Amino acid sequence: MALEKLKKYAKKTNSLLCFGIDPVKSRMKAETVSYFSELIDALLEENLISAIKPNYAYFAAEGFDGLFALKELIDRYKNQTYVILDAKRGDIGKSSKAYATEAYDFWGADAVTVSPYMGGDSVKPFLRKDKLVYMLGRTSNPGASDFQEKILSDSKTPLYEEVFKKAKEWKTGLVVGATSNAIPKAIETAGKNTPLLIPGIGAQGGSFETFPALKENPFIHRINSSSAIAYAHEKTDESPVKAAVAKAKKTKEKINSLVF
């Protein structure tokens, strides 16, 4: 059911683009809800995005005001597009169960990002038939090499490939950054029905070159861009909305040229 909802929004918009919401007060020209709702409304109206990904940390950093803004944004858009709560949870079983209740039943997210490095009992409480877990596989940050790329002595493969294998076994999605060349390996290892959440194409400078690997089952994947869209106006003379729409159009067109 979770995959069908992913496909529905992607087919409706003919877009795999996910808009990441990372509010930074000094970069916005209005308060959080007003600023991002204007951007999201415009991006949805133009069929440019098929998901939003609010980053919990940015909202929580603003205390209760930020958390109220997060709730307002999710409530507003959860019936208009796919909502991925980027919370990177992962704890012992009982704690993970509580975090899953928070993500799905309180915030109302369709999906949540989860760190798998405490093992299966930390991931499985998030598994529901109508929800989706994106396990951190090979992430887009520079520090990913510290642990994720360590070669295992028994298999002679990087640690992140073990996460890819577990994604297939546990039927989860994967976070695989565009700053590495791991996307084809993720699909090969986890299978064509494993949805990928792909960050890193914007400010992190990730490459689009491995995106043709998504062709076999494209509508289940989401490619995220956050600040490059949200703050596109910083590099132009346009309004935040016009600049965001223009940047998202270029990004969507580039993705579609490689995937469809």
Task: Give the residue from 124, 129, 119 showing the smallest Cα distance to 162.
Answer: 119
List the catalytic residues: 88
Q: Cβ(247)–Cβ(42) under 8 Å? A: no
Task: Give the residue from 197, 76, 182, 48 showing the smallest Cα distance to 132.
Answer: 197
Task: Give the residue from 189, 193, 129 showing the smallest Cα distance to 165.
Answer: 189
Structure-token match 């600040």, residue found: 227
CA angle 223, 54, 46 (to 5 degrees): 60
| Tokens found for residue 150 | 């360590």
164 DSSP β-pair partners: none
Q: Cβ(234)–Cβ(260) under 8 Å? A: no
CA quadruple 206, 207, 211, 213: dihedral, nearest 10: -100
**DSSP letter (8 states) at residue 15:** -
Q: Cβ(52)–Cβ(72) under 8 Å? A: no
Handedness of CA 106, 47, 226, 18 (dihedral sign): positive
